[in-house]
């Protein structure tokens, strides 16, 4: 293995390649900040450039830089303007945006960058050591287990079900699940709930819903209440608070460690990917946190920010396991990378390590290099990025609204999508007036389609619902989901009873 790593290092380290990765990181970060252009679309856009280079290692290094840059850029828009453009950064905005509102945008970005970097590092180490072994384990996961995994992912909504809010949170989740059933699913060749509207045939798009649920109501709140934009994000506050205190570092490092490993393992499963990893990471960390810290989740907890970021990045690295060892792309991004690799005359799969060891190792080393360069480049840039929030309100708000609209428009070139965005945004604002949590709606929507597809696939394979009892892993995961939902409710009830006795 050491020989392989050295081979990879010698292929990767050259002036041209380093320039490639720096260029890729910068392009990725800046384009990734536009909601609507996630890592997947940016890589797809960069493929012609990469193929034009000709040398597979250099091309991969460029793509790796773009990839990590885009992930960081996506987190930036989630944290600064509450506009998560990619499903895997939705969980980042849960705590990242509240932190930014408290004037700690710089710190939030730093935590996100460090957590991502550590997630990527742990992921890369695990990838080096366990790739072939994990590939065979990942194949043991069938649709029944995926279904159960999605149910565990749904338990992340517990974080938004505060006291007296359980009914509302569940209601929003169900609404999200219902919205996910609109359109033509992968399993059935018939449109559902489209009301004959052609634009709904392919379902509601994630980006429209995410902008409508998070970014737009927030922008409307900023308009309604002018004091809101000045309350936390004072001009100096965000830059002063760049550093993480020793105490905070102590709190987040165990979180990052745990979530890097957990995220990596989830990322290895083809199809589960970074989104589930980030939600699960958030849910698990919240459940094992102490009572006081639990109350902080969703209100600007550094733990709640570090967990999804570390898990997300580790999962992205993990998704390279099935790609490199089996040739199975586990996520949209890896599918596009697979296409790029094939165009560069490299076919990933079991033979890759034997036939083209230098490619195998240079992929891993270049992914890691991308991760490292990103941290080095972006840490000094963070104060400047955070300054976006210091732009005067009269300019900032039209731009937030414009980027929200662009996010929904770029992908589809469909103006109806924008009208839907405005309509859904008004609905979301009314829901927010009445103190309904909106994150569960989006979680339900994201997980809904995967949940239903895997459920129906399992039902068809087993010709009935008995797969739950027949497959111990499915049963185990479902039991875990029940525990994750019931335990916090039980603990909250106990705490309430105790305080009532105290009174």
Partner 1 sequence: MTLDRWIAFVFLLFCLIYGYTAFFVMDDQLAPFLKNNPVWPSTFPKVLSVGGIIVGLFVLLGFEKNVAAEKPPEINYRRLGDYKLGQALLLLGLMAAYALALHPIGFLLSTALFLIVGAVILGERNFLLVIPVALLATGGVWYLVQVVLGIFLRPLPFFLM
Q: How far is the CB of 443 from partner 1 (least distance, A)?
A: 15
Residue from the set 190, 198, 354, 500 that interacts with partner 1 by CB under 8 A: 190
Neighbouring CB atoms inside 10 A of 402's CB total 10
Nearer to partner 1, 2 or 434 (CB): 434
Q: Nearer to partner 1 by C-beta: 22 or 166?
A: 166
- By DSSP bridging, strand 191-192 and strand 183-184 are antiparallel
Contacts of 197 (CB under 8 A, 6+ apart): none
Minimum CB distance to partner 1 smaller for 180 or for 310: 180
The residue (of 130 and 221) whose beta carbon lies closer to partner 1 is: 221
Nearest CB to partner 1, comparing residues 160 and 368: 160
Q: How far is the CB of 419 from partner 1 (least distance, A)?
A: 5
3 state DSSP class of 191: strand
Contact string (CB under 8 A) for partner 1, positions 2-41, x = contact: -----------------------------x--x--x----
Does 249 sit near partner 1 (CB under 8 A)? Answer: no
170 lies in the site for partner 1, by CB under 8 A: yes
Q: Binding residue for partner 1 (CB under 8 A) from 51, 53, 128, 162?
A: 162
Q: Are 205 and 87 in contact (CB under 8 A)?
A: no
The torsion defined by the Cα of 82, 288, 146 and 305, in degrees rounded to 10, comes to: 20
- Tell me the three state secondary structure of residue 258: helix
User: Which residue's CB is nearer to partner 1, number 10 or number 416?
Assistant: 416
Nearer to partner 1, 251 or 432 (CB): 432
Q: Which range, of 115-123, 171-179, 281-289, 330-338, touches partner 1 by CB under 8 A?
A: 171-179
Which residue from 7, 166, 343, 468 is in contact with partner 1, where contact means CB under 8 A?
A: 166
Q: Which is nearer to partner 1, 194 or 356 (CB)?
A: 194
Distance CA 62, CA 24 (A): 5
Residue 192, SS3?
strand
The binder of partner 1 chosen from 185, 327, 349, 383 (CB under 8 A): 185
Q: Is the dihedral of CA 221, 225, 231, 234 positive or negative?
A: positive
Comparing CB distances to partner 1, the nearer of 358 and 456 is 456
Using rule CB under 8 A, residue 45 touches partner 1: yes
SS3 245: coil
Site string for partner 1, 212-231 (x = CB under 8 A): --------xx-xxxx-x---
- Distance CA(73)–CA(30), nearest Å, equals 6
**C-alpha Rg value of the chain to the nearest Å:** 22
> Which residue in 199, 190, 78, 120 sits closest to 442, CA to CA?
78
Give the orientation angle of helix 472-502 with respect to helix 143-154, to 10 degrees. 10
* 49 within 8 A of 98, measured Cβ to Cβ: no
136 binds partner 1 (CB under 8 A): no
d(CA 340, CA 338): 5
Stretch 448-477: interaction string toward partner 1, x if CB under 8 A: ----x--xx--xx--xxx------------
Give me the least distance between CB of 238 and partner 1, in Å please.
20
Name which of residues 355 to 394 contact partner 1 (CB under 8 A).
393-394
CB of 460 to partner 1, least distance (A): 6
Please spell the DSSP secondary structure of 360-390, one letter per residue.
HHHHHHHHHHHHHHHHHHHHHHHHHHHGGGG
51: tokens are 């193929």
Q: In angstroms, rounded to a whole number, what is the distance separating the alpha carbons of residues 442 and 169?
A: 11
The nearest distance, CB 31 to partner 1, in angstroms, is: 7
Site for partner 1, residues 397 to 426, rule: CB under 8 A: 397-399, 401-402, 405-406, 409-410, 413, 415-416, 418-419, 421-422, 425-426
Compute the half-sphere exposure of residue 399: CA atoms within 13 Å on the CB side of its CA: 13
CB count within 10 Å of CB 4 equals 17
Q: Applying CB under 8 A, which residues contact partner 1? A: 31, 34, 37, 45, 162-168, 170-171, 174-175, 177-178, 181, 185, 187-188, 190, 192-193, 220-221, 223-226, 228, 393-395, 397-399, 401-402, 405-406, 409-410, 413, 415-416, 418-419, 421-422, 425-426, 430-436, 452, 455-456, 459-460, 463-465
């Amino acid at each position: 293995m050491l020989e392989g790593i050295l081979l990879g290092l010698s292929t990767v380290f050259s002036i041209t390649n380093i320039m490639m990765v720096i260029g890729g990181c910068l392009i990725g970060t800046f384009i990734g900040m536009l909601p609507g252009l996630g890592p997947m679309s940016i890589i797809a856009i960069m493929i012609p450039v990469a193929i034009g280079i000709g040398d597979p290692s250099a091309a991969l290094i460029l793509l790796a830089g773009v990839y990590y840059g885009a992930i960081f850029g996506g987190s930036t828009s989630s944290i600064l303007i509450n506009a998560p453009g990619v499903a895997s950064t939705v969980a980042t905005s849960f705590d990242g945006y509240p932190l930014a509102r408290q004037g700690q945008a710089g710190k939030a970005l730093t935590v996100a960058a460090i957590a991502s970097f550590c997630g990527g590092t742990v992921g890369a180490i695990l990838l080096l050591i366990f790739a072939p072994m994990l590939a065979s384990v990942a194949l043991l996961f069938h649709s029944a287990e995926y279904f159960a995994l999605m149910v565990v992912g749904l338990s992340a909504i517990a974080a938004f079900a505060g006291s007296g809010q359980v009914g509302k949170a569940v209601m929003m989740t169900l609404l999200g699940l219902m919205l996910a059933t609109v359109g033509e699913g992968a399993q059935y060749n018939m449109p559902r709930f489209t009301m004959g509207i052609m634009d709904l045939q392919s379902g509601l798009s994630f980006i429209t819903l995410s902008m409508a649920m998070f970014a737009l109501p927030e922008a409307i709140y900023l308009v309604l209440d002018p004091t809101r934009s000045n309350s936390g994000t004072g001009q100096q506050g965000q830059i002063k608070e760049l550093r993480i205190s020793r105490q905070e570092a102590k709190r987040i490092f165990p979180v990052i460690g745990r979530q890097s490993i957990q995220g990596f393992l989830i990322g290895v499963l083809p199809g589960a990917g970074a989104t589930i990893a980030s939600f699960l990471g958030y849910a698990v960390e919240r459940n094992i946190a102490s009572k006081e810290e639990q109350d902080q989740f969703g209100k600007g907890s550094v733990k709640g920010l570090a967990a999804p970021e570390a898990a997300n990045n580790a999962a992205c690295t993990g998704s390279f396991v099935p790609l490199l060892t089996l040739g199975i792309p586990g996520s949209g991004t890896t599918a596009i990378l697979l296409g790029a690799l094939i165009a560069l005359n490299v076919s990933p799969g079991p033979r890759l390590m034997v036939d083209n060891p230098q490619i195998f190792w240079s992929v891993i080393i270049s992914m890691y290099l991308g991760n490292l360069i990103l941290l080095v480049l972006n840490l000094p840039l963070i104060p400047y990025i955070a300054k976006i929030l210091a732009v005067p309100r009269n300019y900032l708000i039209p731009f937030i609204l414009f980027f929200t609209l662009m996010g929904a428009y770029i992908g589809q070139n469909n103006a109806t999508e924008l009208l839907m965005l405005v309509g859904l945004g008004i609905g979301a604002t009314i829901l927010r007036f009445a103190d309904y949590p909106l994150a569960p709606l989006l979680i339900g929507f994201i997980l809904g389609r995967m949940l239903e597809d895997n459920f129906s696939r399992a039902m068809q394979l087993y010709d009935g619902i008995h797969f739950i009892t027949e497959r111990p892993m499915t049963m185990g995961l479902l039991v875990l989901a029940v525990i994750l939902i019931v335990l916090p409710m039980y603990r909250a009830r106990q705490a309430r009873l105790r305080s009532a006795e105290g009174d």
